[in-house]
Chain A
Amino acid sequence: MLEIKDLHVKVEDKDILKGINLTVHPGELHAIMGRNGSGKSTLANVIAGQESYEITSGDILYNGTSIISESPEERALAGIFMSFQYPVIIPGVNNTYFLKAALNAIRKHQGKTELDAVEFLKLIRKKLAVVEMDEKYLHRAVNDGFSGGEKKKNEILQMLTLEPALAILDETDSGLDIDALKIVAAGVNNYRRDDRAIVIITHYQRILKYLEADYVHVLINGKIAKSGGENLAEQLEEKGYSWLDN
Chain B
Amino acid sequence: MHFLEKELNQLIQFWDEEPDALHTLRSSAFKQYKEVGLPNRKWEGWQFTDFSALEKTSYRLASPGDIPPVPETLPTIANCNRILIINGHFQENLSVLPDKVTVQTLQQAYATNPEIFNKAVVNNSNPFHNLNTALMNSGLAIIVGNNAVIDDPIHILYYTTGLTEPIMNHPLFLIVAGADSETTIIEHYAGATNVQYWQNVVTNIKLSNNAVLNHTRIQEEDHNGSHIADTVYSLGKDAQLNAFHFASGSSLYRQNIQVNLASSGASSMVNGLCIAKDHQHLDQHIIINHLKENCNSNQLFKYILSDTSAGVFNGRVIVSEGAQKTDAQQTTRNLLLTDKAMAHSNPQLEIYADDVKCSHGSTTGQLDENAIFYMRSRGIDVRTAQLLLISGFAKEVMETITNTNIDTYIDEKLTTWLEHIGVTL
Contact = CB atoms under 8 A, between A and B. Distances in A.
B380 A91 contact: no
A158 B392 CA distance: 20
B374 A90 contact: yes
B374 A73 contact: no
Contacts of A51: 373
B379 A91 contact: no
B375 A49 contact: no
B376 A72 contact: yes
Interface string B369-404: 111011111111110100011011111100000000
Interface in A72-88: 72-73, 75-77, 81-82, 84, 87-88
B392 A72 contact: no
B390 to A, nearest CB: 9
Given A102-B380, A106-B379, A88 B368 contact: yes
B396 A73 contact: no
Contacts of B382: 71, 73
A81 to B, nearest CB: 8
Q: B368, B371, B396: which has the most chain A beta carbons within 10 Å?
A: B371
A75 B373 CA distance: 12
Contacts of A231: none
Contact of B375 (A71, A90, A141): A90
Contact of A91 (B370, B374, B378, B396): B396
A71 B393 contact: no
B389 A90 contact: yes
Contacts of B388: 90, 93, 97-98, 101
A81 B376 CA distance: 11
A92 B392 contact: yes
Q: B371, B380, B391: which has the most chain A beta carbons within 10 Å?
A: B380
B379 A73 contact: yes
Given A73-B381, A76-B378, A101-B380, A50 B373 contact: yes
A91 B393 contact: yes
Interface in A134-154: 141-142
Interface residues of B, number: 23
A108 to B, nearest CB: 9
Contacts of A101: 380, 384, 388
Nearest to B391: A92
Contacts of B368: 88, 90
B377 A76 contact: yes
Contacts of A76: 376-379
Nearest to A106: B379
A72 B377 contact: yes
B371 A89 contact: yes
A87 B379 contact: no
A193 interface: no
A88 B376 contact: no
Contacts of A87: 374
B247 to A, nearest CB: 20
Nearest to B374: A88
A102 B371 contact: no
Interface in B237-272: none
B48 to A, nearest CB: 28
A48 B377 contact: yes
A162 B393 contact: no
B379 A92 contact: no
A90 B393 contact: no
Contact of A49 (B376, B380, B381, B395): B376
Nearest to A99: B378
Contacts of B392: 90-93, 141
A73 B371 contact: no
A105 B379 contact: yes
A71 B380 contact: no
Given A92-B394, A93-B388, A93-B389, A102 B374 contact: no
B379 A77 contact: yes
Contacts of A90: 368, 371, 374-375, 388-389, 392
Contacts of A142: 374
Contacts of A98: 375, 378, 380, 388
Given A76-B379, A91-B395, A102-B375, 7 more contacts: A71-B376, A88-B373, A93-B389, A93-B391, A101-B384, A106-B379, A142-B374
10 contacts: A48-B377, A72-B373, A73-B380, A76-B379, A88-B371, A90-B371, A90-B392, A102-B375, A105-B379, A141-B392
Interface of B: 368-371, 373-382, 384, 388-389, 391-396
